Amino acid sequence: MRQQPNQRLMTLMAEAGCSNKGLARRITDLAAKRTLRMVRVDHNDVRKWRNLGMLPDRPKPDLIADILGELLDRTVSLTDIGMARAESTRDLSLHFEPVMSEIAPAADRLWTLDSEGVLCSDAAISAAALISPTFQWLTAPPMDLAAGGPRQVGGGDVAALTDMAWMFEAAEFRRGGGHVRASAVQFLRRQISPLLHGQFSDEVGRRLFAVAGQMALLVGDMSYDVANHALARRYFVLALNLAHASGDRTLGAAILVRMSHQATYLGEYREAADMARAARIGGGANLPSTAIAATAAIEARALSAAGDAKACDRALRQAETSFDRHGCDEDSGWFRYFDEAELLDEFGHCFRDLGRFPQAAAFAEEALTKSSPAYPRSRVFTRMVLATALLQSGDPDSACAEALCALTEMEGIQSARVRRYLADFYARVQTSPGGSSTNEFMEQAASLLATDQ
């Protein structure tokens, strides 16, 4: 049967004043901007889509809709451009899945497309898109696990996956998300995915879904760390689904804490505070004291960034009180990273954002004395907070001496967040007179930042 011209695409292109060559060029430019390296389009491709009704492969239909939507200043859907049959990735892994049978296929699709580079850098996803899955996680009843696959999954299988997951976490904490993200995605795809489709007891199944949720959370955090924020949010929502299937409410709370952390980083302060509160509420009555402290501290960070000093102080008091209640024998579970140094660091961040620079410096300095060498990336963040606080307190040479130490600690770390802390401090120092330490820092930082261009 002869294919028909795509009248909808032709009409919208005419309305937008966009030629075949113009659309091809815009698709190529947008793909490059989103680092979709495999996307190549010329005017002949566009002609085939228009005149012959041929359907482009993913992610081109989404790119076309985004381009025409921008040109026409309105939302354009795949249906509007006559490509409703195209497999869209726009809502991929952004929904709460209330049925267990839907979770594993959704997971497969996300990490398969990710490993193929299709989602390398997709369109922005706002924090508002995460409100619905967060609310549904809060209110959904426990999920029944049902397994009918051919492969038998035992406790030893899950224990091996768990060991690997902690290894990936340690690597990310030490060296940043850039070093290990690709390997972690392949681990999800090749090691965890087959087991999610296997046969298992209820107890083994819940442990399996928990470690899958842990790994999805880690890949989300790695994506956040390398500034692929939209993809990070897809992984966070998937992790929330996996955590719900496992029945582990503390894991769900840990995921929401990272979602809140990212939202604050992106300037979405109200949503960030809401996510932190949701983590605390949804974690339930058995949430460890350390976890409660972490949720309160991350809420305080959102509030301080928003300039709400009173609410921030209240949240910090709750964080401190909860942390003081935890005992040596308490199992902090997914919040085992949240030690005294981490709490002190959160105080430092909050006071920096509120302009209380002497307090920020004091807390950051104490955090460094108590931080573990197992977390060099965290030490860099803390040291840059200390440097900023000293600079804003009128001591640029001491500030740059600390920043020079941070530059040494940055070696071997691949993290866009670390680079942003450095760039922000560098911009501040440019307007501040200083001595030898300042000049040495400016020279080294300029060289390092130039390699990121």
Q: List, for residues 162-178, the tens digit of each pLDDT value.
A: 999 999 999 999 999 99
The dihedral over CA atoms of 247, 248, 249, 255, expressed in degrees to the nearest 10, equals -120
This prediction's pTM:
0.82
Per-residue model confidence (pLDDT) at position 2: 43
Per-residue model confidence (pLDDT) at position 151: 84
Spatial separation of the C-alpha atoms in residues 259 and 249, rounded to whole Å: 15
* DSSP symbols for 298-327: HHHHHHHHTT-HHHHHHHHHHHHHHHHH--
Packing angle of the helix pair 340-353, 357-370 (nearest 10 deg): 160
Per-residue model confidence (pLDDT) at position 35: 66
Residue 240 φ then ψ, to 5°: -65, -40
Per-residue model confidence (pLDDT) at position 453: 52
Per-residue model confidence (pLDDT) at position 60: 87
* Residue 48 CB coordination number (10 Å): 16
The HSE-up count of residue 404 (CA atoms within 13 Å, CB side) is 15
Per-residue model confidence (pLDDT) at position 256: 98
Closest CA to 121 of 59, 182, 34: 34
Per-residue model confidence (pLDDT) at position 210: 97
Q: Per residue of the chain (453 residues), give pLDDT as tens.
A: 346 889 999 999 999 999 999 999 999 988 888 766 667 899 999 999 999 888 887 778 888 999 999 999 998 888 889 886 655 677 889 999 988 888 998 899 899 888 877 676 567 899 999 999 999 999 999 998 876 677 899 999 999 999 999 999 999 999 999 999 999 999 999 999 999 989 999 999 999 999 999 999 999 999 999 999 999 999 999 999 999 999 999 999 999 999 999 999 999 999 999 999 999 999 988 899 999 999 999 999 999 999 999 999 999 999 999 999 987 657 778 999 999 999 999 999 999 999 999 999 999 999 999 998 888 999 999 999 999 999 999 999 999 999 999 999 998 999 999 999 999 999 999 887 777 888 899 999 998 888 765
Report the Cα–Cα distance between both ends of the chain, in Å, rounded: 51
